[in-house]
Structures are given as C-alpha cells and as structure tokens.
Chain A
Amino acid sequence: MFPMLLNKNKIILVLLGVAIALITAGTVSSIIYIETPRYSQFYDTKFVLAMNNISKLVPQNESIVASDKYGNMAFFINHELLIPWNASSENSLLYYMVKNRLKYMLVYENFSRVPELKPLFSHEGLKNLNDHFQLIANYTTNVHSSFQLYRLNKNWTFQE
C-alpha cells in the first residue's frame, strides 16, 4: 500500500511540475506575442527623444499647430498642441496660423485629425508644401512614420 502511495505522490508531483512548466512556457510565449508587433510602440526608444527635441526647438510659451495629437505627444511635448479644426486646405491652414499668431507646426506624417487635411499631411502632400513653411527638423522613430517640425517662413512677422 505504502509504495503504491509513494508512486502516486510522485506521479502527482511530476504532473504538477509539468503543469507549472507548461503554464510558464505558455505565459512567456503569449507575452512575447502580445508585446510584438501589436504594442511595439511601447518599446520605441526613439519616440521620447524625438518629442523632447521638438520641445527644445520651439521657444517656451509658443503653441504648436499639430496635424494630430494623442496622449504621448501631449505629455512629452511641453507646448500646447492645437488642431486646426477649421482649416481645410494649405491656404486656410496658413490663414489659421497667421490669424492666431502661431509660428510652429508639427506634422505626424500620414496622420491628421482634420480629414480634409489628410492629403496635405501625407508623404506626397508634404513634398509639395509651399514656401511659407520651412522644415526645421524631421524625426523618424522605430514605429511611427515621421514627425516633422515646420516654422512659418521668417517673412511672416506678427505685431506684438
């Protein structure tokens, strides 16, 4: 009877060990599956650096017109980000910026909160941006398309 029980206990222990090993292996592989590629932006080491650099390039107290904004951009850029809701073309965007005395524009390439401006903020559209906008910096991260910082041409001066 006793040796039989011992064997049973051994079998249970082995089964438990196998179960723990299987669960652990399953967890590890599942976590890797969740992390990449679905949530690879969480591991993008270049994003915070790009946002910090953009913050440094724009003088304090200056708001930035942004093609899109989400939590991460809003947190890491220490400037107010404004979506040009009423703009529908390049000219109306320019008008919006001049009217509100906004000198800087941040474009998250291919992303626009304003549907009408989507073609303008696409890769091709940005190539044809007129002379009123001067490219200051362009950052490409591991995951995001690219972030381009523009400044209104220096010919534009605002009365204080």
Chain B
Amino acid sequence: MLTKTELLCFSKCHKVDILFIIFFISFSIYFYSHVSTLANPPRDGADYLTNARNWLSNDPLYSKYRPPLISWIIAGVWVITGENWVIIKYLMPLFTLAAGIILYMLLRKEKGNLFAFGVSALTLLNPHVFFWGEQIHTEGLSLFFIILTLYFLKSKNKNNWIWAGIAFGLTFASRYATLVEVTTIFVVECIIRKDPRFATKTLLTALPIILVSVLIVYLKVGYFMAAQESDTHFTLLLTPYYLQNSLNIWGFAILLVPVAFLFRRTYQEKFNYTFIAWFIVSLLFWSANSNPILHLPRYTVQFAPAVYFLALLAVENLAKLYVRNDTKKNDEVHIE
C-alpha cells in the first residue's frame, strides 16, 4: 500500500508522463483523422505497393531503385490479409507514432520528462513529419529506425549491441539515404561510449543486414541501384534552400537552434554531441545535392528530432542562466 507522500511523489514525477500520454492520444486521433481522408497513395507509395506485389508474385520489380524494407513489410502483411492497400494506409503511420514514443523514452532518462515531451511533441507536430509520416512513404519508417538505433546506442545495457545493430541495418533497408545520418549517429556514439567491443559487435550485426538487403535486391533485379543517376550529384556549393525556408520547415523553433550553440553547457554534456552531429551532417548532406528537384522539405523529416532537441536545449540553457542570475541576485540581497 502506498503512503500519501509516496502517492504525491508518484503523481508529481509522472505528471508530465500523463500529460504526454494525453497529448499523444489526442495527437494520434487527429493524425488518423487525416489518414482516413487519403484516397490515393502518393506516386512513391504506389511504387512501394507495386514492388510489394512483385515480391509476392515473383515478377520483376516495377521500381528498381526503391529501398526494399517497406515493400517487404507490405508483402508480409498481404500474405496474411490479402492484397489491400487500405490496410497499408492505416499501418504505415504507426511507425511515425512509434518514433514519437521512442524519442520520448530516449530523452526522458537523460534530459527529464518535460524536455522529452517538448522534443517529441515538436517533432510530431512538425507539418512535414505529420504530412509525410501519414503517407505510404519511407519517411516515417526510416525516422522510426533512426530513433530506435539511437535509443539502443544510448542504452547503458551492454547487451543492446544486437538490437542497435539490427536497427542500424534496418534503417539502411528502410531508406538508403539515411545511411549518412545513422552512420553519423553511430560514429559519435562510439566516440562517446568509448567501448570498442560494443561498437564492433553493433557493426558486425548491422553489416550483414545491410549486405543481405543489397544482395536480395541484386538477385531480384540483376543490379543494385541506391538512387536514380540524376539524384546522386553533389556539390561543395551548398544550396541555401533549407536555410531560406527554415521557418516554413521547422517553424519558429529553428530560431533557437543557433542560440544553443552559444552556450558552453551545450558542449559540456556529451549526450548532446550526437544531436549536434546529426543536425549538422544531415543539413550539409541534403544541402550538398546539386539537383534542385531534390531540395524538398520532406528530406528534413529524418533529422527533425535533432533540430527540436537543439531548440529545447537553447531554452534549457536560457532557463538555467536565468535561474543562476536570479539566485545570485537573491544572495546579494541577503548579504546586504
């Protein structure tokens, strides 16, 4: 039986968790109200659906450069339910929602409930995460696997290398371009952890999954192509597209990101390094693509959590600075 004090403490500790649950349920209802209005899959989504059909019927793939995991998931569901795109329409957004929950769990341990709530809520409420996350697209799926990889890499449990490796490999299979982001996260986490055995084991788990994904596609298609030729040109002359459209893409929160870099505290906490690297490398990678058709807000979905993490970090640093100054003032008053 819990005492009154324990109950009070419990309710205080879990107040934010309860708030997050309420937010999450309300958000999910709103999210799925939008999903229900979708009458067609997007063009890319139709490609994944057709590829899933081709995997099942053993026909040549309709779209050969598409990542295979989403089509394998669809094919797996269709083995049980029969071919029906509406089931997939309701299934895929679950990955976006799951990404929000894992992000909350990941940040809650290190940064506290309120911080975790802020980052998760801002990520889920980002219009591009919301819109592309509800589609039969790889955005939600790969966001889920990136965050899952990070979750296991940040885990203090030394046996989680297997899950980290599996999630790492599946991130690649869910969307080839995310290899850049997930590798960045992996490298930084390895540096922070200073545990070569964990790093090696994770890599030895991830690599076979990546190789098997490539091999299966190679055997089916006859060659492996990670992207259309026109999409693979990079330049050192970075496009200002993402900076020019930053307010439209991330909202006013983006204005706080540079503020986060002004505080020494940002660089003192090792936990922040991964998010800093994730944000910088992703932004540089997508800005370096020379094809203007590929300058799209939806490519920012995969690093939206890093942006909101840095924005909240700025708020946290400002709040700590304010409290410190306030305490100083009070101390001075007492001395007088």
Interface residues, chain A, with chain B CB atoms under 8 Å away: 20, 23-24, 26-27, 30-31, 33-35, 39, 41-45, 47-48, 70-72, 74-76
- Residues of chain B within 8 A (CB-CB) of A74 are 46, 50, 62
The DSSP consensus for interface residues of chain A is helix
A42 and B42 contacting across the interface, CB-CB below 8 Å: yes
Contacts of A34 in B (CB 8 A): 127-128, 131
- B232 CB within 8 Å of chain A: no
Stretch among B33-41, B203-211, B214-222 lining the A interface? B33-41
In the bound complex, do residue B62 and residue A27 qualify as a contact, i.e. CB atoms below 8 Å apart?
A: no
Q: How far is the CB of A133 from chain B (nearest CB, A)?
A: 27
What separation, in Å, do the CA atoms of A24 and B285 have in the docked complex?
30
Given contacts A35-B34, A44-B39, 19 further A-B contacts (CB under 8 A): A26-B127, A27-B127, A31-B127, A31-B130, A31-B131, A33-B127, A34-B127, A34-B128, A41-B40, A42-B39, A43-B37, A43-B39, A45-B39, A47-B39, A47-B40, A71-B50, A74-B46, A75-B46, A75-B49
- Which of chain B's residues has its CB closest to A12's CB? B319
B121: chain A residues within 8 A (beta carbon): 20, 23
Measured between alpha carbons, how far is A43 from B131 in the docked complex, in Å? 13
Residues of chain A contacted by B43 (CB below 8 angstroms): 70-72
Assess the A71–B127 pair: CB atoms within 8 A. no
Q: Hey, which bits of chain B sit against chain A, CB under 8 A?
A: 34, 37-47, 49-50, 53, 62-63, 85, 121-122, 125-128, 130-131, 135, 248, 251-252
Whether B62 contacts A71 by the Cβ 8 Å rule is: yes
Q: Closest B-chain residue to A32, C-beta based?
A: B127
Contact B251 A23, beta carbon cutoff 8 Å: yes
Contact of B63 among A24, A42, A71 (CB under 8 A): A71
Report chain B residues within 8 Å CB of A23. Answer: 121-122, 125, 251
Residue of B nearest to A69 (CB): B62
The answer for the CA separation of A24 and B74 in the assembled complex, in Å, is: 32
B residues less than 8 Å from A71 (CB atoms): 41, 43-47, 49-50, 62-63
- How far, in Å, is A142 (CB) from chain B's closest CB? 9
Q: Distance in Å from the Cβ of A129 to the closest Cβ of chain B?
A: 28
Q: Which residues of B contact A76 (CB under 8 A)?
A: 46
How far, in whole Å, are A33 and B249 apart by their CA atoms in the complex?
12
Known: A23-B125, A27-B125. A72 touches B41 (CB 8 A): yes
Residues of B with C-beta under 8 A to A48: 39-40
Report chain B residues within 8 Å CB of A70.
43, 46
A residues in contact with B128, CB < 8 Å? 34
**Cα distance A31–B248 in the bound complex, in angstroms:** 11
How distant is B61 from chain A, measured CB to nearest CB, in Å?
11
* Interchain CB contact under 8 A, A39 and B42: yes
